[in-house]
Amino acid sequence: MIDLSADLLAAAEADVIGLAVIGADRKMLRKMGRLVEWLPATGADCCECMLLVGMEDEFAALAAGRRDNIALAGVRGASPGIAQPVTAVVLWNGAQSHYFVIAMPDFAARQVETLLGSERRARRLMEQQLEAASAEVRFASLARTRLRLARDLHDTLVHSIVALLTQIRLIRHFLTADPARVADGLATAEDAAASGLSRAREAIARLRMPDDLKLEPDVEGVLADFADRSGVAVSTHIDERARDGLRDCGLTVQRILSEALRNVQTHAEARQVTFRAFEEPAAAGRRLIVEIRDDGRGFDQAIPTPGHFGLIGMAEFAELVGGTCAVQSAPGLGTLVRIALPVAVPPAASRGVLAD
């Protein structure tokens, strides 16, 4: 009679563990518990079991004392009734000349599976978040493109049409008041139309360029061209420390400056424009400050101007690079455009500040 420990028998009867006894000839003698149902039927060679096929030499080595046990970790799927992984150990009882098998739930493998399941869920969640972020990026890109189209339309077609309307009204006035000046008015209107066409073509070319294309800005050139074209006196004051920031942020400054100068030429009736660029400390790094001031007639900021988007476009240009653009004006007091843009601090400079 095979003698099994009472504790092991009780655990097997409660399905806490599984027990099996195998004779020295590898024939199954007894099985107890669901956790050993994967073993062959009583009387069959245990190596006929799918999980023990080809292990005759291992059993012989175990009986001869050349190895301590045969361990089968993470066994699962061998029995329809076993959902969790099982670890099985085959031992040799030399005194009674038989093998016995102890099978128990493999909690480590189960924990690994739980962790893997959590990892899979986390990966799925991350994939969903990435898809959502990608959708947001696509939406932001579309919104940016729409803003860019709106700004370029305003900067080209709107200004050109306004110039043409002005000339048409002058020509209509000349028809009755001074017919001799009609030809001059038509020539000016033709020049305005040609200029508008050229700027529209430039805008179309810009739309065909990628957003990240780096154009070479020329802020001082824009100011000089404006002075030559308009006859308005321009004074320029650029601090030496601000030149690096002005170069890095030059494209944004140039776009806002061009719009501000168009407003000066079209509406302000100014005699003097002052351009200042300097840097000031910020909470993180430095900040480039650009001020464009004119001594024109100014305007009342409390009065809405429907259909005019130049000031909105200037603010949007600054916001695209994390900055701000504020306009201050009042009737008879001119206009101040103040741009504040973040300036990256070079790594060497930041280390020098920390070293101090």
Residues 235 and 326 both lie in one domain: yes
243-291 pLDDT tens trace: 888 888 888 898 899 889 988 988 888 999 999 999 988 777 789 999 9
Note the pLDDT of residue 286: 85
Q: Do residues 234 and 283 both lie within one domain?
A: yes
Res 273: pLDDT: 95
Verify that 171 and 302 share a domain, yes or no.
Answer: no
111 lies in a domain? Answer: no
Residue 13 domain flag: yes
Considering the domain architecture, whether residues 139 and 53 belong to the same structural domain is answered as: no
Whether 321 and 356 share a structural domain: yes
Q: Which residue has the tokens 């006929």?
A: 48
Q: Which of 105, 139, 154 is the last residue of a domain?
A: 105
Rounded to an integer, the average pLDDT of 30-40 is: 84
| CATH code, domain carrying 335 | 3.30.565.10
Among the candidates 191, 213, 235, a domain finishes at 213
99 compared with 348, residue with greater pLDDT: 99
Residue 267 lies in a domain: yes
261 and 327 both lie in a single domain: yes
Average pLDDT over residues 315-327: 87
In a domain, 322, yes or no: yes
Residue 338 has pLDDT above 90, yes or no: yes
Same domain for 65 and 173, yes or no, is no
Q: Are 32 and 44 in contact (CB under 8 A)?
A: no
Asked if residue 316 and residue 340 are part of one domain, the reply reads: yes
Fill in the amino acid letter for 277. A
Taking the C-alpha atoms of residue 287 and residue 340, their distance in angstroms, rounded to an integer, is 6
Answer yes or no: do 222 and 291 share one domain: yes
Q: What percent of the chain has pLDDT over 90?
A: 20
Question: Per the domain annotation, does 123 fall within a domain?
Answer: no
Neighbours of 289 (CB within 10 A): 18
Count of domains observed in the chain: 3
Q: Among candidates 253, 296, 256, which has minimal Cα distance to 278?
A: 253
Average pLDDT score over residue span 205-219: 57
Q: Average pLDDT of the chain? A: 77
Residues paired with residue 326 on neighbouring β-strands, in sequence order:
338
Same-domain pairing of 231 and 172: no
Q: What is the CATH number of the domain that holds 10?
A: 3.30.450.20
Residue 113 lies in a domain: no
134 and 189 belong to one structural domain? yes
| Listed residues 173, 197, 213: the one ending a domain | 213
In a domain, 117, yes or no: no
Its sign, for the CA torsion 253, 256, 260, 266, is: positive
The answer to whether residue 120 is domain-embedded is no
For residues 75 and 86, the answer to whether their CB atoms sit within 8 Å is: yes
Please tell me whether the overall predicted TM-score, pTM, comes out greater than 0.75 for this model: no
Owning domain of residue 150: 129-213
Whether residues 344 and 255 share a domain: the answer is yes
- Residue 286 · residue 341 · CB < 8 Å: no
- Tens digits of residue pLDDT in 183-211: 887 888 777 777 777 766 666 665 555 54
